[in-house]
């Protein structure tokens, strides 16, 4: 075995159907008295349920979480937390709401309790993102890592199937890239493989029956493991491409991950064949990880072409230029011609072969 460094990042996880009932106990264990509940406008009902459960400990609800955390909403939420005398924040929702909690914590050190209802995985990472004047800045700071995470699969039953599939593939992207990260280690390798296995068996099952609690539990378990990998090791070409396409062309986050992932895997296959074999085995496509990921997305009705999620063909050259500038480390060197072809294939929705 090669030498490696492993740094454990600590957070407390309460997992299982119905675990929202432990919320008050968890707030108490944080040593907090008044919690500001965060959500998007669309998840206001869930936030009200949370506030009802904690009763007097609820300082209020801030329901203005927005994708990619615009600085204005972060400032407003910070001011609201201060005005209400909150000594912790509860983020219930997807990565956008968790991201808002992180923006508050970055500034104030307020402890965050996250209750994820998508599979994006932000709750397990010390990574934050804030958008100012149209530019998203990301960074890492342990202050933003949620102290406690409650994973309650019952809360994800209402997550629309289409979004469940693309969000699940967003999670799988973290695990796939974590397996060949420059700073990967055997512990993250175990989590990544198990996360890929859990998610690839969950997605067809929850597509068949969105209320299947066992499938929803598998998906949330997979999201936890994949998110942990994202929080512990560096990401590569795939995440760089997704951040380029999401940030500069305003494409939807989980869908971009879904479309690009098979192509990024195909790009890297010859550089890391053993890793691709591990990914392939974990998703039940032992000889072709890239093709297997494409088939998984397509068979569950997810988008497989950038042209179907709002990308203009005329913008592919600019996207390639942005992605080759300041690239993340990648196991195969980033070559512009090959990357431009990758983008063309992803735009057309071609099935890649690893």
Ligand X SMILES: NC(=O)C1=CN([C@@H]2O[C@H](COP(=O)(O)OP(=O)(O)OC[C@H]3O[C@@H](n4cnc5c(N)ncnc54)[C@H](OP(=O)(O)O)[C@@H]3O)[C@@H](O)[C@H]2O)C=CC1
Ligand Y SMILES: O=C(O)/C=C\C(=O)CC(=O)O
User: Where does this chain bind ligand X (CB under 6 A)?
Assistant: 40, 42-43, 67-68, 93-97, 99, 117-118, 120-122, 125, 127-129, 155-156, 158-159, 163, 167, 230, 253-254
Cβ density class 184-218: b for 16+ within 10 Å, e for less: bbeebbebbbbbbbbbbbbbeebbeebebeebbbb
Residue placing its CB nearer to ligand Y in the complex, 19 or 184: 184
Picked from ligand X, ligand Y, none, the partner binding residue 148 (CB below 5 to 8 A depending on kind) is none
The only residue of 32, 51, 86, 242 in contact with ligand Y, by rule CB under 6 A: 242
Site for ligand Y in 141-180 (CB under 6 A): 170
Picked from ligand X, ligand Y, none, the partner binding residue 239 (CB below 5 to 8 A depending on kind) is ligand Y
The only residue of 77, 127, 150, 175 in contact with ligand Y, by rule CB under 6 A: 127
The only residue of 57, 239, 263, 278 in contact with ligand Y, by rule CB under 6 A: 239
Q: How far is CA 94 from the centre of its chain?
A: 9
Picked from ligand X, ligand Y, none, the partner binding residue 254 (CB below 5 to 8 A depending on kind) is ligand X
Q: Residue 166, SS3?
A: helix
Task: List, in sequence order, every residue forming a beta bridge with 13; answer none if it has no partner.
Answer: 149
- Asked if 138 interacts with ligand Y (CB under 6 A), we say yes
Q: Give Cβ neighbours of residue 217 (< 8 Å, ≥ 6 apart).
A: 16, 17, 153
Q: Give Cβ neighbours of residue 210 (< 8 Å, ≥ 6 apart).
A: 157, 159, 161, 164
Site for ligand Y in 80-119 (CB under 6 A): 99
Picked from ligand Y, ligand X, none, the partner binding residue 242 (CB below 5 to 8 A depending on kind) is ligand Y
Shortest-Cβ-distance residue relative to ligand Y: 129
Nearest-approach distance from CB 192 to ligand X, in angstroms: 15
Picked from ligand Y, ligand X, none, the partner binding residue 163 (CB below 5 to 8 A depending on kind) is ligand X
How far apart are alpha carbons 84 and 86 in whole angstroms?
Answer: 5
How far apart are alpha carbons 40 and 96 in whole angstroms?
Answer: 8
Q: Say if strands 112-116 and 127-132 run parallel, antiparallel, or are unpaired.
A: unpaired
Rounded to a whole number of angstroms, the CA Rg of the chain reads 20
Nearest-approach distance from CB 274 to ligand X, in angstroms: 27
CB 117: neighbour CB atoms within 10 A?
23
């Amino acid at each position: 075995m090669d030498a490696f460094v492993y740094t454990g990042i600590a957070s407390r996880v309460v997992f299982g159907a119905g675990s929202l009932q432990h919320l008050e106990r968890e707030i108490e264990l944080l040593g907090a008295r008044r919690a500001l509940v965060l959500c998007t406008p669309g998840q206001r009902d869930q936030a009200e349920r949370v506030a009802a459960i904690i009763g007097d400990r609820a300082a209020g609800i801030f329901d203005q979480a927005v994708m990619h955390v615009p600085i204005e909403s972060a400032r407003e939420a910070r001011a609201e937390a201060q005005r209400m005398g909150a000594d912790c924040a509860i983020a219930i929702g997807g990565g956008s709401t968790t991201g808002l909690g992180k923006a508050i914590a970055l500034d104030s050190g307020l402890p965050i309790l996250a209750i994820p209802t998508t599979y994006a995985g932000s709750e397990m990472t010390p990574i934050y993102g804030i958008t100012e004047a149209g530019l998203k800045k990301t960074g890492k700071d342990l202050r933003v890592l949620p102290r406690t995470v409650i994973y309650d699969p019952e809360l994800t039953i209402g997550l629309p199937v289409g979004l469940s599939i693309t969000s699940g593939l967003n999670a799988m992207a973290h695990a796939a890239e974590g397996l060949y990260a420059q700073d990967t280690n055997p512990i993250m390798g175990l989590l990544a493989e198990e996360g890929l296995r859990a998610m690839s068996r969950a997605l067809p099952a929850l597509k068949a029956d969105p209320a299947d609690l066992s499938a929803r539990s598998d998906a949330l378990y997979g999201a936890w493991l994949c998110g942990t990998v994202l929080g512990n090791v560096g990401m590569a070409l795939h995440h760089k491409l997704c951040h380029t396409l999401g940030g500069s062309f305003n494409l939807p986050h989980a869908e971009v991950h879904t479309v690009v992932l098979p192509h990024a895997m195909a790009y890297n296959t010859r550089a890391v064949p053993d890793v691709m074999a591990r990914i392939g085995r974990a998703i039940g496509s032992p000889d072709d990880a890239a093709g297997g990921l494409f088939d998984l997305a397509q068979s569950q009705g997810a988008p497989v072409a950038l042209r179907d999620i709002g990308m203009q063909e005329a913008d592919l050259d600019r996207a390639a230029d942005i992605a080759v500038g300041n690239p993340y480390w990648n196991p195969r060197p980033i070559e512009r011609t090959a990357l431009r072809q990758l983008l063309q294939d992803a735009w057309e929705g071609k099935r890649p072969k690893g």
